[in-house]
Structure 1
Amino acid sequence: MTDVNEFASTAGTLSGRIYAVIKDRLLHGVYKPGQRLPIETLAQEFGVSKQPVREAFRALSADGLLDIKPQIGSIVAAYSPKEFALFYRVLAGYERAAAEAAAVNATDEQINQLRAFLHGAESRQLHANPTDQLPEFRRSNREFHAMVHAMANSRLLTIQGQRLWDLSDFLLSSLQGQDGVRALAPKQHDEHWEIIEAFESRDPERAGLIMLEHVNRIAEMTAHRV
């Protein structure tokens, strides 16, 4: 996770650097849904004026991570169970399309790289400290899906996929307890292998259906924990 001490040495515009730090905190659950984020406090923390923080907040609002309310301030976005369910239905359909495209367009080398990555991810998960296992699973899960997007050979899929997975990370970090995510991890790993096998068979229909069930499983898990 990005640390404020690294802020001064990070490349980019001032507001962009502030945006990156606050976004990272939001995706990791440092700030909770409904929590107010005072511009003055963050400006003081970063040693800047209010303007770049305000610009960063506007970008985070466009991402769906903050709600800017007149006369109240900036509040960490909070979503209802219905919104969770609809989001994961959309994400499941999106990932299904990506998997179908990847089964057709991926090179043998890309499939081999995905297989090697998953072997490494499982090894890291196995040897991680108990407190690090869940963050490691979430990192590797996101990277797996990013690699599938690259294999689909579509820049639009990759760009939009990143935004959707940002929102997914944010939503999962806001759950009441993380036991559901932890319990889901072994099945998610198994389905990753099934998806790779469908890619190796060049079977877009099977790859898409497995991916659809794979993401819908997250929706089922979150239904009782929002």
Structure 2
Amino acid sequence: MANDELPKLTRRNMSQEVYDILKEKILSKYFAPGQRLNLAEIEQQMGVSRTPLKEALNRLALEGLVEIKPRKGTFVTDPSPTEIAEAFDVRRVLEVYAVELAAKRVTESQLQQLRDKVKKLRSLTEVEDWTQIYQEYVAIDHEFHRLIVEFAGNKRLKELWEQVNTHVQMARARYRSAERELDQAQREHEEIMKAFEARNIDALREAMSYHIERAKQSLLRDLEESKGQKHSP
């Protein structure tokens, strides 16, 4: 790791800040799946002691982002295709329920926030080279779905979604460098918004379920292609 990659910390809540930074580095692929973390190097670069670092790593382990192996070290999780599929399946259940709750209580101001996200996503799909905007698209897409879960008004649902969606983000970061179906994804976002505007709960459930299932299948295809490329001569 380059010496200037991890910032030194200044806030009082060191454990929280270490957690935030390491999580971002894992999701952005700065730390690769399966990589063994050099804890001494991380401590030196960030200017922290082992205690807040261990507290942060324990939180990351609970979320499934790292695996702590006694006498071997701490490793970034390398999710299997089955684990990825399961994360998407649980996410689909949670978000289908979230749109049902949100449709009953969403305000005009909240709807406008969702409209703004969909509008921004639409503008990104209009560029010619999707590889240049993919990471930004993923970030805004994540925010769109996060807002829906937030507008559902169920704290425990939000906590579960955040935990499961972390695994989804990790899989997307690893296995996909360019989304080949952004136009299809955008049509699905538009359908979700159309159902929200009409407060049509049945249409919302159907649109969200289809959207997440298609994303899962697309990602798993990318994974299979990636494995095939590794084994090709």
TM-score w.r.t. structure 2 length? 0.85
Give, as a single letter, the amino acid of the residue that structure 1 aligns with 2:9: A
**Which amino acid counterpart does residue 8 of structure 1 have in structure 2?**
L
Structure 1 window deviating more from structure 2 (34-43 vs 115-124): it is: 115-124
Q: Residues 101-112 of structure 1 correspond to what in structure 2 (within 5 A)?
A: 101-112=101-112
Aligned residue for 1:71, secondary structure, equals coil
Listed one character per residue, the Cα deviations across residues 90-131 of structure 1 (whole Å, up to 9, x for unaligned) are: 111111111122222212332233112321343356469865
Q: Which runs of 5+ in 2 are unaligned?
A: 224-233
Is 1:178 the counterpart of 2:177? The answer is yes
Q: Provide the rounded CA distance (Å) in 2 between the counterparts of 1:119 and 1:67.
A: 39
Task: Provide the rounded CA distance (Å) in 2 between the counterparts of 1:171 and 1:81.
Answer: 9
- Give every structure 1 segment of 4 or more consecutive aligned residues whose post-TM-superposition deviation is greater than 3 Å: 124-132
Amino acid at match of 1:221: S
Higher relative contact order structure (alpha carbons within 8 Å, sequence separation ≥ 6): 1
Q: Which residue of 2 aligns with 1:76?
A: 76
Q: Secondary structure at the match of 1:98?
A: helix
How far off is 1:204 after superposition?
0.7
The 1-side partners of 2:27 and 2:12 are apart by: 20
Residue of structure 1 equivalent to 2:6: 4
For residues 143 and 72 of structure 1, the distance between their equivalents in structure 2, rounded to whole angstroms, comes to 36
Counterpart position of 2:116: 116
Q: How far apart are the structure 1 equivalents of 2:92 and 2:187?
A: 17
Range 44-53 or range 214-223, more displaced: 44-53
Q: Deviations over 1:136-159 (max 9, x none)?
A: 111110110011112222222223
Rounded to whole Å, the distance in 1 between the matches of 2:131 and 2:213 is 26
The code of the aligned residue for 2:58 comes to R
Whether the 8 Å contact between 1:106 and 1:153 is mirrored in structure 2 is: no
- The answer for the alignment partner of 1:218 in structure 2 is 215
8 A Cα contact 2:196 2:204, kept in partner: yes
- Percent of paired sites with the same residue: 26
CA contact (8 A) 2:35 2:76 kept: yes
1:223 aligned counterpart, secondary structure: helix
CA contact (8 A) 1:28 1:169 kept: no
Q: Is the 8 A contact 2:84 2:168 kept in 1?
A: no
CA contact (8 A) 2:121 2:186 kept: no
Residue 191 (structure 1) aligned with residue 193 (structure 2)? no
Distance 1:223 1:124 in 2: 24
2 CA distance for matches of 1:29 and 1:98? Answer: 29
The answer to whether the aligner puts 1:164 opposite 2:164 as a matched pair is: yes
What letter corresponds to residue 62 of structure 1 in structure 2? L
User: How many pairs align?
Assistant: 219
Please give the alpha-carbon distance, in whole angstroms, between the structure 2 residues aligned to 1:183 and 1:130: 8
SS at match of 1:4: coil
Normalization by structure 1: what TM-score? 0.88
Cα-Cα RMSD: 2.1
Provide the C-alpha distance between the structure 1 equivalents of 2:210 and 2:187, rounded to a whole number of angstroms.
12
CA positional deviation for 1:168: 1.3
The 2-side partners of 1:155 and 1:55 are apart by: 24
Determine the C-alpha separation between the residues in 2 that align with 1:210 and 1:22. 34
What residue number does 2:18 align with?
18
Q: Distance in 2 between matches of 1:131 and 1:185?
A: 11
